[in-house]
Amino acid sequence: MTHDVRAAVSPAALWEEAMHLTEAGQLRRLSMAFARFVDSLGPVAPPLLLAALVLSELEGRGHSCLQMADLARDPAGLLGWTREQWQALAGSVAPLPKNAKAWAAQLAACEQVWQVGQFDYGAPLVFDGERLYLRRYWRDETLVADSIRARALATHPVESTGVRSWLDLLFASQRVQQKPDWQKLACAVALRGSVAIITGGPGTGKTYTVARLLALLFAVAPDAARQRIALAAPTGKAAARLKQSIDKALTDLAERVGEALPLRELTGRMGAARTLHSLLGARPDTRSFAHHAGNPLEVDVLIVDEASMVHLEMMACLLDALPPGATLILLGDKDQLASVEAGAVLGDLCHDAQSGGYSGATADYVFEASGEELPPEYLGHGGPLAQQTVMLRHSRRFGGPIGQLALAVNAGEADAAAAVLRGGGAGALRWIEGAHQHQVVTLALAGYQPCLELLRAGPQGAHEDWVRAVLQRFEAFRILCAVREGEWGVSGLNTAIEASLRAAGLLPRAGEWYVGRPVMVTRNDYGTRVFNGDIGLTLGDPARPGSLRVYFLEGDDVRSVLATRLRSVETAFAMTVHKSQGSEFSHTVLVLPEDRHGILTRELVYTGITRASTAFTLVTPHAPVLAEAVARRTHRASGLRHLIER
């Protein structure tokens, strides 16, 4: 490998260095293939090939574009490489442009790059402002930005007096009156627009608020009986949870509002919550959906929960399929991990959520419609979307030690987080520092024992009730990992836990499929209706002794699929933090190994902690890893905010 920047100036040298990085596991083969494809299109400036390699590599890490400033400033940091690794690659195409401006000028001049605003002859790369895109991501980001901007600007007049009295009625039973009442305010804001974002940490009342918003929409709609409301979420589990919480909130409300509003009718008319894939009409073996601009969704109001998990491509498809007159309500926690796929859409859309940035006009409207006064510190010059975004700031069910820990992590206060953890939170918190793998296995034995014992006891009454109870016990405990491979990763821990549960006699001795095997689905399968991220438990089939079925819990409903029909699954005693989003477990164990690649971030730790409802255990073989992770924020390059505001 050459480290001499002056050495070579030909693509051959670049391919050779890139190959070394591929072999070292630092560069995807796909990125190489993409850069070679760009090279095949005709005479090419070597820096473009380097940029194409970096761009494709970043796409695999969740970025939707490559910012010229990042490329000029710290490309190694962006890629998680050492300086030497970057120097070796970059040296093979030296001299490189000296700064962001020079990079921009050089790339924009290449034939393989379409510069937005110029004649479009279908080049695979797109240059927009200071950003280089793969064409597909530029198209998705532009579609999302244009649609969100148009929706945010499309506010309509509201009859404030009527709305205010409805809001007073719907929020009449407030126990703790925090000022301003952000929940009430969120309803007022959402009512006037065709998009609204309601963000907040766990237990801040997003679902509680949206149930009241639905009641309000129902109360003020000229033709309420014909309003079509759809509920959706990225995963089946999150969708079922949304439906269950909204039904419960509406049932409670119905009792309170009595005759004033036929809310039971509203609940009855709302269908099941669906996954976004199913709502949009996913079809096997294609990325396109049945619903799109030419065949829009038949909805008036669409509520999407767990929006932090919605990646750029999915958001683009969703907005494309949503009729312009429909209202989109996005719910989610902006501080959670973004999806594995490219884009951090909710995070980008919520850029001003913390500070507010509300205009005087918004403050006046909110006061008239809800009686809530926006404190001056939240007034500012946010764009149209900031006016339609509300952050809920008071958690109702997350105020205890787990909530304190989550707050400290979210604020980047590593010392405070460590102190809260070491304090033990009256038994709710535990930190195993300098841990060994067997300690996680011991936690798993204790955590899964109640579920496996109930399973061994067998049904005492109806089979389905027993299955539901077993699944609920399984949902009470989970081990979350930051990585997939190795001793502290999903695969290493699953193997170790499985072996020790077998040795303890809690699981059968052998076999890939066995009673008690928890599995996670890793690919959507439209035939069996199981989707990536669904988690089920393997049990005997009462109708066919000797055969096994995997049972899934969706809300209170149980459904099952023959184990032999599930092709893409993996054992799930331990799972990644990413896949745990949208779920909650009474006791959550988060395992953070030593971080050699900069993958442990504040968002990852926060997401892991906020999966726990009653107890949280942190396991770190190397104690400093907590402080390092809390200090590192996820950075995903994207032009979404810029595109919305231009």
Binding site for ligand ATP (CB under 6 A): 174-175, 183, 200, 202-208, 245, 396-397
- Is residue 317 helix, strand or coil? helix
| Least spacing, CB of residue 157 vs ligand ATP, in Å | 27
Write the CB contacts of 109 (distance below 8 Å, at least 6 apart in sequence): 45
Helix-helix angle 401-410:602-609, to 10 degrees: 170
Binding site as annotated, residues for ATP? 200-207
| Least spacing, CB of residue 203 vs ligand ATP, in Å | 4
Separation CA 11–CA 17 (nearest Å): 10
The residue to which tokens 């409670």 are assigned: 252
Number of other residues whose CB lies within 10 A of the CB of residue 41: 13
Output 149 or 206, the one with its CB closest to ligand ATP: 206
The residue to which tokens 């955590």 are assigned: 447
By the 8 A CB rule, do 638 and 128 touch? no
Output 610 or 617, the one with its CB closest to ligand ATP: 610
| Least spacing, CB of residue 209 vs ligand ATP, in Å | 7
The residue to which tokens 């995963």 are assigned: 235
Output 204 or 278, the one with its CB closest to ligand ATP: 204
Output 142 or 339, the one with its CB closest to ligand ATP: 339
Phi, psi (5° rounding) for residue 578? -55, -50
Separation CA 125–CA 113 (nearest Å): 5
Output 183 or 278, the one with its CB closest to ligand ATP: 183
Write the CB contacts of 73 (distance below 8 Å, at least 6 apart in sequence): 100
| Least spacing, CB of residue 200 vs ligand ATP, in Å | 5
Strands (E), 164-320: 195-200, 229-233, 274-275, 301-304
Output 142 or 204, the one with its CB closest to ligand ATP: 204
Output 200 or 357, the one with its CB closest to ligand ATP: 200
By the 8 A CB rule, do 208 and 414 touch? no
Separation CA 407–CA 405 (nearest Å): 5
Output 316 or 406, the one with its CB closest to ligand ATP: 406
590 sits in which H/E element: strand 585-591
Output 92 or 204, the one with its CB closest to ligand ATP: 204
For 388-435, give the DSSP string: TEEEE---SS--SHHHHHHHHHHTT-HHHHHHHHHHGGGGTEEEEET-
Separation CA 632–CA 255 (nearest Å): 47
| Least spacing, CB of residue 506 vs ligand ATP, in Å | 31
| Least spacing, CB of residue 449 vs ligand ATP, in Å | 27
Closest residue by beta carbon to ligand ATP: 205
How far CA 392 is from CA of 187, 199, 210, 353, 511, in Å, comes to 11, 6, 12, 9, 48
Q: Six-digit token pair at 440?
A: 């996680």
| Least spacing, CB of residue 174 vs ligand ATP, in Å | 5
| Least spacing, CB of residue 348 vs ligand ATP, in Å | 20
Separation CA 644–CA 180 (nearest Å): 28
Task: Tell me which residue of 311, 400, 307 sits closest to 610, measured CA to CA.
Answer: 400
Separation CA 58–CA 243 (nearest Å): 36
Number of other residues whose CB lies within 10 A of the CB of residue 508: 13
By the 8 A CB rule, do 520 and 569 touch? yes
| Least spacing, CB of residue 507 vs ligand ATP, in Å | 31
| Least spacing, CB of residue 447 vs ligand ATP, in Å | 21
Task: Tell me which residue of 288, 308, 298 sits closest to 206, measured CA to CA.
Answer: 308
| Least spacing, CB of residue 246 vs ligand ATP, in Å | 9
